[in-house]
Structure 1
Amino acid sequence: MPTEYSHGGTSVPETKAVTHPVVTGGHRSDLDDMRATFDAFRETNEERLAEIETRGAVDPLTQDKLAHIDAQLDRQQRRLDAMALKSSRPPRGAGPDEPGDTTALQHKGAFVSYMRKGQEDGLRALEQKALSVGSDPDGGYLVPDETETAILRGMTSVSPIRAIAGARQVSSSVFKKPFSISGPQSGWVAETAARPQTGAPTLSELAFPTMELYAMPAATPSLLEDAAVDVDAWIAEEVELAFAEQEGTAFVTGDGVNKPRGFLDYPRVAEASWSWGNLGQLTSGVDGAFPASDPGDVLIDLVYALKAGYRQNAGFVMNRRTQAVVRKMKDADGNYLWQPPATVGAPATLMTFPLTEAEDMSDIATDAPAIAFGDFRRGYLVVDRTGVRILRDPYSAKPYVLFYTTKRVGGGVQDFDAIKLLTFSA
């Protein structure tokens, strides 16, 4: 059913169709616990509002109780996210009797020998056969395709912006994308009239260079000698979280110097004077805060600053401290704008739009762009250069064996009209 929001006396319907996974077993119990916690949150917040109305101040005990419940909601959301991530991970590695590509199996076997014992002859021969560039041991060796896929899948689940952004894999160091700023050139003519030449489109070339990201997990000799340990799964699990944390920060605030450029690093202009190359922003009307009355109207203005073509697949991005503030907001009918996830693996929603929690977003402060709203799949592009390389180092940290693992990734805004920001200023 459509949900209506009251804005300036006019009811504005917004309908979104969302598909979610089925919840079973223990996941349902955890989801029910979160819903019960949110019910307690609503009751306590109503007490807080009643105290403000009757006494002009909030009882400290009520404030502490609300903060405790708010923190509990955050913990339950993280638990649900962890469950969804764990259940989404497919089994890594194939048994020796399973069918598969001969070259892939040879690569996997040679990779395991290199990881466990440092035997690099097999990998060197395979990479030279494939005409790989830089197949000498000083540059490291490519991990099997299966391991690379597992690393990227894990990073997508953990890195908040990668999970909602567009993605492209390339084999070169820079991805260049032409973009028509003025749109397609066309016009209307009569059936027998002359066809005048249309104006040339205004094109802009966007360049997304890939930068090197590295991690250096360490292993003990006993771990590598243990035949029961799946070294593919071990290295994937060790590096995917480290990679995800680093790139998650870069995709939000990165300055583009030896790292991807985050969307908050681009110039911001008032939405009324928006132009290509800038991100449009709205202001809250109050320095460092939401307005005291009808704060939800600011969020409605932000939603409808985005064109309809982008809005259908749009969502909010903010950190947990900002989310704690909007969690207390209600519409004109007394319904809370924030709602807990409908199913495990689904995000919380704000005004029916999915909400992505990115800790690198700004806190609510004067002139801070603390809330972003947009279609990030069209607005922000993550570029992955194919190939994850590993260099085994048994010498630098004896008795441990270090695995210098690198991949190349870039990122930046690809459609400046697809993302809008809310800045907390007058």
Structure 2
Amino acid sequence: MYHRIASRILAVVLICVVGNAAMGQATRSPFTANGIGDIVELAQAHNQGNGGLGISNGNYWNLNNMNPALLPYNSLTVFSAGFVGGQRTVASESLEEQYTAGNLNYLVTAFPVKKGIWTTSIGLMPYSNVNYDFTYTSVVTGSNDVVEIRERGTGGFNQFYWSNGVALNKYLFVGLKATYIFSSIEKKFSNTIQNVGNVYTPVVTDRVTVSDFLLSGGLAFNADSIFNSKVKFKAGLTYDLGTDVNAKKFQSFDRTVDNRPPIATDTLIDNQSGIVRIPQAIGLGISFNRGLRWMIGMDVKMQKWSEYKRFDGSDGSFDDSFKITLGGEWTPDPSSVTSYIKRITYRIGGSYENTPYLVDNEGEMNQVKDFGINFGWSLPAGRFSSFDMAFRYGRRGSIDKTILEENYYRVYLGITFNDQWFIKRKYD
């Protein structure tokens, strides 16, 4: 027992070391200049194989952090960690650039307080990612001088959460999740007159830091299907409360020459208090499964991003987001003792999303769409654990509608450890 625990602790340490080296390297995207950036999906590597499906489809061997009501399925102590990497090609009518990066995706664990009835879970993962850097030029009014303008943004919010799921009976489950959201987003704006030596470059830095709690809840229903007593029907519901998150703003004004360190710095705003409005969201899911052999399902999630408010109280020129996910998985023979291949779980899925981003294209406001297909598998490791892999290829935006188009692929890697901890040993 102690050997198993030691090996798991070693694995956690290695993951943290690798994750810390990669943290903050989210792939660049101009769209993250809006609001608080890209919202990171809660889906773990095994969920990503299904396209991100997870509101209704809980199971015994994988931790589900998308709907807290599904936690009672985890009757063993479980630890999951994941890494995401990928490449993004951003194109306009005249330019095309590629970016490659990766970062730690999640660290989560759960254990049963009362087996099959109450399970609790904690986790750490990004909440949003901001990473953009673009340059453009403008002519100074009343002169022939050309100014090069540069806008950069880095950071994002992180989340540490505690969730609990309780089985009221064998049909109905409820869950509650408390999330502590923290960290900061930093944006820099500078301009430089071209073809002039030793010219001052003014740089304005804005940094918004948040520190507050979010609340969400979930329901899950499980019953025999009306089609076949061997096929189970599951449904799930999640709701995230809209919250005014406490925030502080710092703003400075620097003067530099030829990209050297600042020769002067002035603090314009020093930790001014304010709020950032995170809007409410609702998710619905249904799925059918036959034990561990196969599962198919659908999720729908909507979030009222039209209610989002910046630190200064202005809206973010966002629209409400809507996402639909379809997916499924298949395990040829989960109990096979003669064939490892038959115990591998294979997954496929896809999603379509109206993202909250709006782009003004010659006076016409167009909402950015995101479509992608996913596939993946879980390789059994030991009695109850697994190594999870998933891949996604997708496209966000379009040159004709939103000026910019992103074609991307992502690779998700995850490990899941299941074990029986906190057992009172008996001796004859």
TM range (shorter): under 0.3
TM-score normalised over the length of structure 2: 0.21
TM-score normalised over the length of structure 1: 0.21
Higher strand share: 2
Q: Looking at both structures, which has the greater relative contact order when contacts are Cα pairs under 8 Å and sequence separation is at least 6? A: 1
